[in-house]
Amino acid sequence: MWVRRLLTLSPRRSHRHLSTTTATLTTPTPTPPPTPPPTMLYDQLAIKVNQKLKKLQNPNPKFLQHTSPHPTLIDHTPILSTPLTRVTTLPNGLRVATESSLASKTATVGVWIDAGSRFETEETSGTAHFLEHMIFKGTERRGARELEEEIENMGGHLNAYTSREQTTYFAKVLDRDVPKALDILSDILQNSTFDEKRIARERDVILREMEEVEGQTEEVIFDHLHATAFQYTPLGRTILGSAENVKSITKNDIKNYIATHYTAPRTVIAASGAVKHEDFVEQVKKLFTKLSSDATTTTELVAKAPACFTGSEVRMIDDDIPLAQFAIAFEGASWTDPDSIALMVMQSMLGSWNKSAGGGKHMGSELVQRVSINEVAESMMAFNTNYKDTGLFGVYAVAQPEYLDDLAYIIMNSLSKMCYRVSDEDVTRACNQLKSSLLLHIDGTGPIAEDIGRQLLTYGRRIPYAELFARIDAVDASTVKRVANRFIFDKDIALAAVGPIQKLPDYNWFRRRTFMLRY
């Protein structure tokens, strides 16, 4: 006991003496005292944060019985067993594609043409849309009234739409009426009369439609966004054309447009639902005999007047509008660009939100969370538009005038942050959301036929969903950062804004926030 007391009271003895003395003891070495808690405030905060993270990483097992807060890659193989898409190319270059579902009692039949407002000239701008209106006004075999009655008697639906690069005519009918629908489509596309009186009457209809579109601010925003982003190029013109052109379009202009652009190699006839491929191909051979076989492709036409992105802005101040709306866009990717899939994932990461729909604070998108928590917008939406040689990628938002500065900062910060910091969890979640939305989009014969026609025009084939999902799953955090550096980092932007936008920052403010200075 005396030796033990000596050791505790004499800590300054030499090391040799202590080691010699302790060697004679048989008692075990005392355990060290517990580490005192850190005294620095930041150390204490770090410990609390780590404890919260551990709780998040190990959630309640009862909760995990139903779902998990952590996104995971899911095997979609059972879902991807979709029917085969069969494609037949006729000698004149016309492509016929079908996806049969014999269990279905309805079918969608359509004609997809690789022609739109982009392939017009400055003098003929608006002809493609004017033609869409006139195509239902009577043929050599059917008058306008007879055409409407025939569709109604079948209980079918006949419609059309024109975009900047494609024009579509389609019909939804019962299975027994597929031959009749195909006959009507071939008749209106090859034998329309374009009566002069009906052309004059249709001018007023289109002019009224233009006035209605002017009242839809979202349509106006994206028209002006294209006009400023692709100024002095055909892609920057509106689909409806100018009022002066609508008043001056003639029957010869319409016929010349058909002869030039409605050619067999640039046309796809697609059907889905209750159709048999062999029978459908035989019907197409008999009916579509007047299409031109001109081999000029849209790629050659685009090369003559390519789209050129210009960093610029257009602002229309209107204090009579209660809410301010603006769209910010970078130059995006074309349909066939290898990075187009990554931009689709990035669009899903940014997400969309509407104040009237609720939620937002617990959504996966950091941009949506910041916008909803701070309540700086009425709605916002990320968009990714593809064309043959370019695209637009950005964010559209609607907000009260007093919140424009804060909203612009949040949007630009979220966009530029993709160049620096991206988590694997956010990318996986966005990939899963993108795959789900793609599958939900093809629910029905109409969307399937549209998907077939559009993909054959843009890719030359229909990409199987197993292949498309594999490409989506190949996108990871490093891919997103690389693509963001290509399209966002220190790149010019296009900006279009409408409404009480006096407090919206200027163009140079936006341009400076396409990158961050990090030291």
* One-character DSSP codes across 413-464: HHHHHTTT---HHHHHHHHHHHHHHHHHHT-SHHHHHHHHHHHHHHTSSPPP
- Six-digit token pair at 418? 């993709």
Report d(CA 241, CA 220) in Å as an integer: 13
Give, in order, the Cα–Cα distances in Å from 190 to each of 84, 173, 186, 259, 372: 30, 21, 6, 10, 52
Distance CA 331, CA 303 (A): 18
Give the tokens for residue 164.
Answer: 């900047």
Q: How many CB atoms within 10 Å of residue 249?
A: 24
Cβ neighbours of residue 341 under 8 Å, at least 6 residues apart? Answer: 468, 471, 472, 474, 475
Smallest Cα–Cα separation from 94: which of 283, 332, 321, 326? 283
| CA 118, chain centre distance (Å) | 20
In angstroms, rounded to a whole number, what is the distance separating the alpha carbons of residues 416 and 362?
22
**Residues belonging to the active site:** 132, 202
Token digits of residue 496: 């279009």
Strands 494-499 and 312-317, by their bridges, are parallel
DSSP 176: G
CA distances to 224, 311, 399, 400, 404 from 503, in Å: 20, 21, 11, 10, 6
Residues 435 and 472: beta-carbon distance below 8 Å = yes
240 in helix, strand or coil? coil
Cα–Cα dist 406/424, whole Å? 28
Pick from 391, 421, 397, 406: which is nearest to 491 by CA? 391
SS3 content of the chain, % helix, strand, coil (to 5): 50, 15, 35
